[in-house]
Chains A and B, each alone.
Chain A
């Protein structure tokens, strides 16, 4: 009897090792999404990446749960662990506390939390961030506006969205120093009706180029109805308005997932060494892409306008908006990144110097950014 138990324990230990991918036959991975995978935004993009991973690794098995309320993430982690998951990804900022608590309770499970900052020996963090892409979109928007008013429909006034909005506005002002970026907040990540009415309000205010953070193609469609250009967000939105989508922000979560899963499989990452594993992946790691759809950085419809728009640039002298976009893109997409949109001097719209001459912002400063740059017009809750 005793012996039987011992053997069982050994079998369990071996099984435990194999579940960590060391003796690797299959690795089972669970994904927890905050929204429905049909949102065509955030959760959809994570799910597309999950499918790519499953396709790519023969040893990988995945499961997912969708529309998980942020406060209930722990229950769902319990469920996935009981189902035998070796790795669990939780993909919303609001899952952070629950994921951290679960990481302490399941020291043998590898966890990774998207967009947060709490880590543990078995809990990594990761994020594919858009701020460089928004900046490049801003360069294009500044060149295309005729009224000098560019629109931005924002989801929530939180650091992530503020960072993107600021980067966008920095781009706009770099090519068009007089232009303004008009903002409306909808206080939802996904709400087509709210996005529609916010966009209509900005149309009524005289804005003629549109960017946004909301998980549906609504703003693109509203702009097109008024014959105005826009920038897609998150998923390829070119098809929704082929004549009006200039470019946009595209994500490739699979870049991070493939790298992470490979490293766990190879034993480089284990449940004991993730304390400092934080993916903050940008253009140069190809986790994000500039484009109206994959492979189309700038819609050909707008190429001539951008080439014809001349900028008197402090660094490059006379340069077309098109060439400026390409130059900046190369500077940021190159593995040895030589440019960042948030380079000093940057003043906020109250005139306070936020980034000194010659300095770049740290990642920590970027993810806690609350101020608004010059040129942003409209409400800014939490403005310091």
Chain B
């Protein structure tokens, strides 16, 4: 087995495992760009995973399952938006509650759906022509998920929206200084609602990918903490949609390698690598001044109330 084989399998697996991380992170980036932290990603993913599985199994249509997962994730995020934007509840508390709620609800509704294989999972695709390119072909274009490709395209689209359009400026201004944005006539509440709901929709898709493609079955708690990696990744990639691709692939690769390299490197060490990377980045972010440069939204985590200072 030469280096090509290692490269192909590592990048191939990194993309597969990184896909839900990418979708989740893109969603959280947008929510946080509007100034709202949503720690409910794990819960929204769980709701997405269950609803995608239930719908795909009942209708035989995995694509429909993903759409419903998106809607369910968006619906769950709406709760968070209502609590934190309208009622100005503590964002961290509300997010944690959403995670518990999502895990609990999906577990409850999922009774009776576990232990059943999905009849029609979303099949991986091989891109004709491109798959023939040596090394690059098998690495990127063989047996990958359509959701992986959509996620990559979406990351670029969201980047352009954020940095190159009026909408993006509006969103960022709401996250930086809602009072200023408000004074300029921006509807801060509406922008935050939309950003949080978009975050939920993308988290829902991430969950749906897990249950109809990555591992086509439903099991309670199957998101296995991915939602928390997403929270860390969002900071890790400096709230940048395109950097999110790199972050998700890096975490995916580390995750895969933690099993691949077990015979040679202590598994405990490999397992903590992604988290260690996150902690290191968080440390640097936390060291004063760095926050500006890393691009953390100025009003992140602060509820906005009109007329208050």
Contact = CB atoms under 8 A, between A and B. Distances in A.
Contacts of A217: 115, 117, 217
Nearest to A240: B117
Interface in A367-383: 377-379, 381
Interface in B64-119: 107, 110-111, 114-117
Interface string A177-204: 0000000111110111110111011001
Contact of A197 (B17, B263, B267, B268): B17
A294 to B, nearest CB: 13
Contacts of B2: none
Contacts of B115: 40, 44, 217, 235-236
A191 B263 CA distance: 21
A221 interface: yes
Contacts of A240: 117, 217
Contacts of B266: 379
A218 interface: yes
Nearest to B225: A191
A239 B224 contact: no
B222 A216 contact: yes
Contacts of B13: 197, 200
B173 interface: no
Contacts of A379: 262-263, 266-267
Nearest to A380: B263
A218 B217 CA distance: 8
A36 interface: yes
A235 B116 CA distance: 11
Interface in B223-281: 224, 226, 255-256, 258-260, 262-263, 266-268, 271
B168 interface: no
A203 to B, nearest CB: 8
A197 B256 contact: yes
Main secondary structure of the interface of A (DSSP, over half): mixed
A39 B215 contact: no
Contact of A38 (B1, B107, B216, B262): B107
Contacts of B220: 36, 38-39
Nearest to B6: A204
Given A38-B220, A204-B5, A204-B260, A193 B114 contact: no
Contacts of B1: 204, 206
A191 B107 contact: no
A221 B222 contact: no
Contacts of A197: 13, 17, 255-256, 258-259
Contact of A378 (B9, B258, B262, B271): B262
Contact of A194 (B117, B219, B224): B224
Interface in A104-159: none
Interface residues of A, number: 37
B221 interface: yes
B116 A239 contact: yes
Nearest to B115: A40
A240 to B, nearest CB: 4
B159 interface: no
A239 B117 contact: yes
Contact of A39 (B5, B114, B117, B258): B114
Interface in B1-47: 1, 5, 9, 13, 17
User: Which of A184, A185, A192, A240 has its CB near the most chain B CB atoms (within 10 A)?
Assistant: A192
A44 B114 contact: yes
A186 B258 CA distance: 9
B214 interface: yes
A40 B117 CA distance: 12
Given A38-B111, A187-B267, A193-B17, A198 B259 contact: yes
Given A185-B267, A221-B215, A201 B111 contact: no
B138 to A, nearest CB: 12
Given A185-B267, A193-B214, A379-B262, A204 B221 contact: no
Contacts of A235: 115
A36 B221 contact: yes
Nearest to A241: B117
Contacts of B262: 184-185, 201, 378-379
A216 B217 contact: yes
A384 to B, nearest CB: 18
Contacts of A236: 115
User: Which of B258, B259, B267 has its CB near the most chain A CB atoms (within 10 A)?
Assistant: B259
B15 to A, nearest CB: 12
B217 A201 contact: no
Interface in A331-365: none
A155 B210 CA distance: 21
A221 B217 contact: yes
B309 to A, nearest CB: 43
B270 to A, nearest CB: 10
Contacts of A378: 262-263
Nearest to B106: A38
Nearest to B263: A378
A200 B10 CA distance: 10
Interface string A22-56: 00000000000000111110001000000000000
Nearest to B255: A197
A36 B17 contact: no
Interface string B104-144: 00010011001111000000000000000000000000000
B232 to A, nearest CB: 16
B186 to A, nearest CB: 40
Nearest to A200: B13
Contacts of A188: 224
A24 B215 CA distance: 48
Contacts of B9: 200, 204
Contacts of B107: 36, 38
Contacts of A221: 117, 215-217
9 contacts: A36-B221, A38-B111, A38-B220, A187-B271, A190-B219, A191-B224, A200-B256, A378-B263, A379-B262
Listed from nearest, the 5 A-B pairs whose CB atoms lie closest are A38-B220, A201-B259, A201-B260, A40-B115, A198-B259
Given A39-B114, A201-B262, A239-B116, 16 more contacts: A36-B221, A39-B219, A185-B267, A186-B259, A188-B224, A191-B224, A193-B226, A197-B259, A200-B259, A216-B219, A217-B117, A218-B217, A235-B115, A241-B117, A378-B262, A379-B267
